[in-house]
Chain A
């Protein structure tokens, strides 16, 4: 059971907008720790998408955006493309330990 909670799956059609949620607590996100987002494709190294809650990593298109509010964070992808499929993870810190969400699998219909 991950400390950061993510829904197991999300799906959308090409061109649509999807949103991933990441719910923490007052011990992590709510304590002011930044949230970061990664995409992981099977057999490959995870890729940083968003750092410090809202900033896109180098090379990440502006279709990707993120925000944080209270004890939760969210990542949105607009103009969904087939290449966006993969597992998406939120990450933060709390109680002197790194924390990952359980991951959300994105399926492009």
Chain B
């Protein structure tokens, strides 16, 4: 079955960096767009970034553009999010999710999610 397992979260000081990873299994990773979504404490879900199947096309939320970088390694079936210049308001659980893709196109919804990894930024 489809599994997504995030790792790399932890405690970091403001201004620091972290690299999150998401290990995928149970499906042909290179066939799907992937995304990162987060949830800050007491807040709702926030979309962060999408990446295309080849990695050549990426999109970012305004709140993280220029600080976060999404990437993927299809050979290793892994998704990554590089978090730079972290701020206290980046404290959140970070989820990776699979974008559903049919044989003809990728749709705009997330059919499988990981359990999340917690990032805590101290000020």
Question: With the chains together, A66 CA to B60 CA distance in Å?
Answer: 28
How close is B70's CB to chain A, nearest CB, in angstroms? 12
Please report the number of residue pairs spanning A and B whose Cβ atoms sit closer than 8 angstroms: 67
Q: Choose one: A33, A47, A89; the contact of B108 (CB below 8 Å).
A: A33
Does chain B have a CB within 8 A of A52?
yes
Interface size for B (C-beta < 8 A) is 24
Which residues in chain B, 75-123, are within 8 Å of chain A measured between CB atoms?
95, 97, 100, 107-111, 113-116
Residue contact B47 to A51, C-beta cutoff 8 Å: no
Measured CA separation A39–B54 after assembly (Å): 30
A interface residue count range (under 10 / 10 to 19 / 20 to 34 / 35 or more): 20 to 34
Q: Looking across the interface, which residue of chain A has its beta carbon closest to that of B116?
A: A45
Chain B residue contacts of A57, Cβ below 8 A: 111
- Interface residue? B35 (CB, 8 A): yes
A-B contact pairs, 29 of them (CB 8 A): A33-B108, A34-B107, A34-B108, A34-B109, A36-B109, A40-B39, A44-B115, A45-B113, A45-B114, A45-B116, A46-B97, A47-B113, A48-B109, A48-B110, A57-B111, A87-B44, A89-B45, A91-B45, A91-B108, A91-B109, A91-B110, A92-B108, A97-B61, A97-B62, A98-B37, A98-B50, A100-B44, A102-B44, A103-B45
